[in-house]
Amino acid sequence: MFKSSSSIALITGATKGIGLETARQLAHEGVRVLITGRDGDRTARAARVLTDAGLESEPIMLDVTRQETIAAAADEIARRHGRLDILVNNAAIRVEAYGRSPSEQPLDQWRETFETNLFGVVAVTQAFLPLLHRSAAGRIVNVSSLLASLSTHTDTSSYAYSDKFKSLPAYSASKSALNAWTIHLAYELRDTPIKVNAVHPGYTKTDMNDGDGDQEVTAGAATSVRMALLDADGPTGAYIHMARTVPW
């Protein structure tokens, strides 16, 4: 894996869960991490957790659904650092209720889900891409989900082939769309040093899952960290869990 004590990483949705743990693990690798979140006080507290542990961290207020905060964050980072080396698009929501049939999930929840899980990622990436082009080895990590995998959803032996996970059509579709964005952006950047990949973190115990899952957040952050620190021989346009390619 590529390592640099001078690397700068921005993680969206980093005030708790997988996002905060991704920041912690990257900081342990010598990366200066920019913790972002919608709430300024909570974001500052999350960054302080790392700085109190002797890790390099800065808070940045950023709401992926508000263009003015994205632009302000990009301007601030350009002034402070002049570039960005790693962008981890981690912010996501799950607003659908378990137990409803797909056709019963309200349309406004589809729109709310896509605003954060897809449109927010596109907006943040577009805003920070000029700074990533200034990096010697830019890395973009889009945090997807196994529920993005159409192959998994149609596999009758998979845990996704169940009433519980079929009650999350908007979330699943937003992550499938995120995978498509990953492929398109990787193609655009194929002749540059920037690598773009989607990751499945694993079924992780977080608030989004109501505490369900089969692994802790330390494991859930590991794939994002691995792909953020890819060396020049690493893949781009891939959908990965740890070292394994996930079926589309």
Radius of gyration of the chain (CA): 17
Alpha helix (H) ranges present in 102-168?
107-114, 120-132, 150-153, 163-166
Cβ atoms within 10 Å, residue 60: 23
Tell me the HSE value of 170 on the side-chain side, using a 13 A CA sphere. Answer: 24
Helix 169-188 with 107-114: angle, nearest 10 deg: 30
Point out the catalytic residue in the list 98, 159, 171, 239.
171
Q: Yes or no: say if 168 and 94 are a contact pair by the CB < 8 Å rule.
A: yes
Nearest to 132 by CA among 236, 206, 212: 236
Annotation says 171 is catalytic: yes
Which helix (DSSP H) or strand (DSSP E) does residue 226 occupy?
Answer: helix 222-228
With tokens 């049939």, the residue in question is 101
Q: Yes or no: say if 142 and 92 are a contact pair by the CB < 8 Å rule.
A: no
| Cα distances (Å, whole numbers) of residue 210 to 45, 69, 75, 205, 243 | 23, 28, 36, 8, 27
**How far is Cα 65 from Cα 27, in angstroms, rounded to an integer?**
26
Return the active site residues.
171
